[in-house]
Structure 1
């Protein structure tokens, strides 16, 4: 006598179909809700403040001109104190910008407008790295730049940590040691400095000057605060709403570094960032 087969499978198929239908329905509802929220989001006033008007105001232009003179003088003084270094070029990005601090659902909340001039001096050199790091630290101290943040706040201190920890510059790595021989990894240092006269670190988006010094050998590229986008070796301006460029003379950090490394072992980048004008937004 024949017996029916597939009874359980037949019962499971409608159940699976119901589950699938429920999931599709839930997906459709979620999509409709998201579309509705997005339409509400788009109807809200998200126009950025008039950054251009502030950027071209007389007081801002005066502050900008002073920042340009000061930045140029500081980098020129720094370069003249490094006779063993070869100048590779200087990039400049001078812009005023704000950003939406609430980019999702709801009204826009714009950050204060901040005008910043970023000047990056690139140099190359050879010779004993520790000797030159000591010389760099001495020059920076003489020109009244002091390391900010926690230790290490000098290039020599950073290099010492890297040597002790096999390349990891963190204090934790220095304490735990490393299985690699000291100094086996390439030099890749970056330290931030501020004027000796400044008592406190610059608040985020606030006025003030800082200097970032980075030294690297292959395969590392020195870190640089260029004030623009460095994507794929081609610098680009920030194109988001609320950004106005007053000056832009870009250099690709990757390109400069690769070219210099064909003839020199080390490349350094001195990023001088001057936040010279700030205005609160409504």
Structure 2
């Protein structure tokens, strides 16, 4: 436990030195504010930038609900552009240690591979969720102000479940980081695998529910008037996270 605490603390201190807490948070705040503002003032924006020529906007179109705007922000923007930036920010979380010799320096000491890997997972999850939570909360405030009330309790539930998806993506990056040496290749592979798990929702609903991506559906349902909640997705996601860590552990033992 002491080793785990020390390694996790080191990850967080390193992130602070690299200003990750600042620039990642600012990035998600911008994403979080942009979507509700665009949804609300699209007509005015088009008129002022001179881009409304040839575009017809239905004046009787339905105004999206607060929950719909929140979903388009977090499940849309955060889970696309945000996911790419997040993955790039931790694409070398193990490969860099290995290439710089830091990994060997750590593991020759009385530190277990399990503590090392879990500290990487925990540290980057804290960094990610710190930034995402602030960006999402500001987006929630803007959305409620512009579109009307939305249950804060359901929003928190959504965020908690969404955090499991982020935990899975980080565990995936850890696994690929033990298998590959190139940080760019690690990022591309992690992003591709994550997007694939999101895309299969439209092709095979059953496969999607049995995959780690099913947690996204459960998270989104917290903001939708849906009674059928598949809480089995929580266990599925946790199992896949554990598998990724166990495989990464096995790979490192062989190297």
Q: TM-score range by the shorter chain?
A: under 0.3
Q: Highest CA radius of gyration, 1 or 2?
A: 1
More relative contact order, 1 or 2 (CA 8 Å, 6+ apart) = 2
Higher helix residue share: 2
Higher strand residue share: 1
Q: Given the two structures, how large is their TM-score scaled by the length of structure 2?
A: 0.25
Q: Given the two structures, how large is their TM-score scaled by the length of structure 1?
A: 0.23
